[in-house]
Chain A
Amino acid sequence: MTIHLSILIFWPLLLALLAGLSPRGIAPVIALLGSLVPLGYAVLLLIDFDPSARGLQYVTDDKWIPDLGIRYSLGVDGLNLWLVGLTALLFAASALWIALRPPERAKLFAVHFGIAETAVLGAFLAQDLALFVLFFDLMLVPFYFLLGQWGGPERVQAAVKMVIYTLVGSLLMLAGAVALAVLASPGATPDFSLAFLRENLLGDNTQKLLFVAFSLAFLIKMPAFPFHGWMPDAYRNMPLPVLAVFSGVVSKVAAYGFLRIVLPLFPAAVDDWQLIMLILAICSILYGSIQAFTQTNLRLILGFSSVAQLGFIVLGIFALDAGARGAQGALLQAVNHGLVVAPLFLIIVLLAARSGGSEDIRDMGGIAFRAPVLAALFLIVTLATLAMPGSANFVGEFLILLGVFDSKLAIALIASTGVILASVYALRMYIRSMHNRQGPAVTSFEMSVRDALVIVPLVLAIIAFALFPQRAIDAGEPAVQGASQAVTGSAR
């Protein structure tokens, strides 16, 4: 029993409230402080974590609402360790970015930003189903406000669309979670703890129904084809530093939800629905990739490339191969994608500043000419995005495909085209903006120290992760295998 995870989760919230009450000038600084402490904690966690131990570490487990059977239960294992680190890193980077370029009404911004970090960290660390659902739904509220108040011209409609789309899924999941807990403990007070639910699986038919409720919530949140309807509007209008964490982290909560909840709790249903999920994943990969190399707005290129990347992650999760390599790749890829997409969104801000405010690649071109450092950093991130051999993304995609080749050959063959498509859209994005003939409104200049302060550490993180992916894989191995083999072991 430790208090550390609680501090990690609620520190940003606490400082956010403080920022809300503080004078306007220092609110962003307090918000930054609110995200630096979790980052420090996360780094300590990564160092201190014992990869050889099975089960949860740093467990906090206390009764919260006994009448409803909800416990306040947190813990870290290989599944969420690196995702917590990713969350803390991206929020800290984004908070630094905001502190260096304070938005209007900075106090309110800081409040919502802090709530967002608390909600995401809570969702990753919760070991009680009701607690997870609570944080998962709560996550939406601050992003709704951040999008609706600080977003682009169509921000209000985009925000409403995003909330309704994603909450439809989340609310179904809420009903599913309650049903799951009630049905798993007949005649007694329901128990939402994941450990209890893993021991008391439901009948096959109930599992199938609940699987649909949970998967729908996660697929919408990701978003995966064909549930991505809210994504273009939201991505077009969300402020970019917010979008960096939103795209980098929030979609990972959904992927994580599959590994933490769906695979262990609905093994029979996962086995039945595997093919459909794989087909959805393939559709996401192909549709996302094709959209990504036809769009011209940089935000949408990245948005649809995220759809494709998340398709890969789903593919890995549902590969269900004997060695659970697909799931390991998926987990690694979740961290990778977060690491690359966040700096890319921040780079869009810099590109737009050089192309007369436009975020359209047709208005860009030739920016690399006078901005070699920016171009170099952008290139590194782009190459990581397209899974260049040597990057951690390559390892991730490789493991995913390896897993799928093992279990479903035909699907793997189609999916591998996605790797090629990724290089098409990533290189197109890079070449059209940085090289080519200089656009009419483009005035290229080098990035400032202020920008480098945020982007360089993120790129360094990508490089470091490319050098040592094994560390993340090792840490995740027992937990991922446990999750994946809950299905392969019980159903076959």
Chain B
Amino acid sequence: MTPKAPVIDWEALSPIVALAGGACIVLLVGLLRSRFVRAQVTPFLALVTLGTTAGLVIWQWGANTEIVERALAIDDLTLALTMIFVAAGIGTVLLSWRSSAVVEAGEGEYYALLLSSILGMVVLVAAQNLVAVFLGFELLSIPLYVLCATHMRREHSLESGLKYLIIGSVGSATLLYGLAFVYGATGSTDYAAIARAAGDLSNDVLLLTGIALVVAGLAFKASVAPFHQWTPDVYEGAPTAVTAFMAVATKAAAFGVLLRLFDVALIDLAETWGPALATLATITIVVGNVGAIGQSSIKRMLAYSSVAQAGYMLAGVVVSTQLGVRATVFYLAVYALMNLAAFAVILARERETGLGDHITALYGLGTERPLLAWPMTIAMLALAGIPATAGFFGKVYLIQAAVNNDYGWLGVVIVVGSAISLAYYLRVIAAVWMRSAADAPARPPLPTGARPAIAGGSAEATEAAARPRGVVQVEIVVVAVVCAVATIVFGIYPDPLLDVARDAGAALSGLV
């Protein structure tokens, strides 16, 4: 009797294979000595990989298969989120293209790490098995720890990487501990089996402790308060392109796994975890919005804003309905567009003015560079949920989902949060349009004082990184403009995105 080879569904596996293969190729090509190959060909290959993945995702749309002994579900939810990762990846590659961080870290390594992080995200959101969850979680996190520190001679970047590593590890450990508890209580690592067992265990301390630990672990990654403290520091210190990637893609991945875990495996316990998550959402919205007020570093401000936005999206998880899933996916897509536009502008000004990400770097942008000023304005208005931007319908959808399942008060929390958020979003718009470049201080307010020396960091390098480097590069403007235009277009005609969100919601067939 010949042993039967396992059936491998290569078609469904193809996006994952493409990403993994692309990462290897980019890494190897990056080893070549030619300067041109390293600086131009590797990012191009990374873009090709991402483009291929996008193509495969579109090809697989609607197939809804489960692969690897049902550990991974390549359904429309996974694919929709993969598209967000790919979009964020493309944006990040373009933003990193001529960045000094890439040169310092080695081009091949940088882009290979980026691709493997995206691979981890795909595995994470496809996972319907606890082991696969952890696998994806680590594959996503470890490359990011390194990417944060790729400005290798800048103290802030190193500090950011180290901080993310330590806090991320705590998060991973908590998650793993929780997963073990869940397995212990239900006797299975498979989501379907957990769902069958969990129905009778609604008062089981072991399971509830496990869920609480899992929530805490994932909340670290999604920067949900009170597990968000690392966010501002890491966002501020990391190279801006990496920050953009973390803000957009990591958030989407964390919410993908939250959606699948809670709305598939633990759906029968919705009455237990629903109010708890709703409370977390409220805390997150308040903490994020209040924290963002008064930040003068735009990256820090956007970090707090991303905390607040995580709170809004958590509302979509809490309601545990089809509508909630759709609203979350829609908001994640919109959120990706708005943030990429904003970070692209920040990056452009960092390179142009030498004021770093300080808000004064935006002074006079409206008269000097309309092509950067408008995307920034649109991004801020969209984040605040102003009509005629996609952010408006994102909020409408979330509120609709909340009201529909008796969480009307959560809808009120969302709008109160949005009202607070105007205070800081408008500050950015005011800096862009209502101040002139002459108001800005001559030299950047560089961090000074007795900071702990971190191995490899130097004040000179920090200063060198802050030095202006001439004209804005065209690819950054393209990212900003494309994302801003998409934000407006989806704000007027959101149907295509809503269709995607509906398919993604339908993937979780157990929900009403």
Contact = CB atoms under 8 A, between A and B. Distances in A.
Interface string A145-166: 1001100000110011001100
A148 B427 CA distance: 11
B144 to A, nearest CB: 34
B437 to A, nearest CB: 15
Contacts, number: 93
Interface residues of A, number: 36
Interface string B392-418: 110111011001100010011011101
B430 interface: yes
B397 A68 contact: yes
Contact of A182 (B404, B414, B426, B427): B404
B58 to A, nearest CB: 21
A167 B426 CA distance: 12
Contact of A168 (B395, B419, B430): B419
B502 interface: yes
Contacts of B404: 182
B494 interface: yes
Interface stretch (A50-58, A129-137, A365-373, A421-429): A129-137
Contacts of A172: 412, 415
Contact residues of A: prevailing secondary structure = helix
Interface stretch (A173-181, A275-283, A347-355): A173-181
Contacts of B399: 174-175, 178-179
B24 interface: no
Contact of B392 (A134, A145, A179, A190): A134
A68 B408 CA distance: 17
A130 B399 CA distance: 13
Interface stretch (B269-277, B303-311, B382-390): B382-390
A137 B433 CA distance: 20
B412 A175 contact: yes
A168 B423 CA distance: 11
A113 to B, nearest CB: 15
A130 B396 CA distance: 9
A65 B387 contact: no
A119 B260 CA distance: 40
A171 B392 contact: no
Given A155-B434, A178-B403, A190-B400, A171 B388 contact: no
Interface string B482-512: 0000000000001100110010000000000
B395 A174 contact: yes
B396 A167 contact: no
Contact of A175 (B415, B427, B494, B495): B415
B505 to A, nearest CB: 10
A189 to B, nearest CB: 10
Contacts of B84: none
Contacts of A174: 395-396, 399, 415
A182 B403 contact: yes
A163 B422 contact: yes
A48 interface: no
Contact of B387 (A134, A156, A160, A178): A134
B434 A179 contact: no
Contacts of A179: 399, 403, 408, 411
Contact of B386 (A108, A138, A160, A175): A138
A226 B111 CA distance: 58
Contacts of B423: 160, 164
Contact of A68 (B386, B411, B418, B498): B498
Given A138-B388, A148-B430, A179-B411, A171 B403 contact: no
7 residue pairs, one from A and one from B, having the closest CB atoms: A171-B415, A134-B387, A67-B498, A138-B387, A178-B399, A175-B415, A182-B403
7 contacts: A68-B396, A148-B433, A149-B434, A156-B430, A163-B426, A171-B418, A183-B403
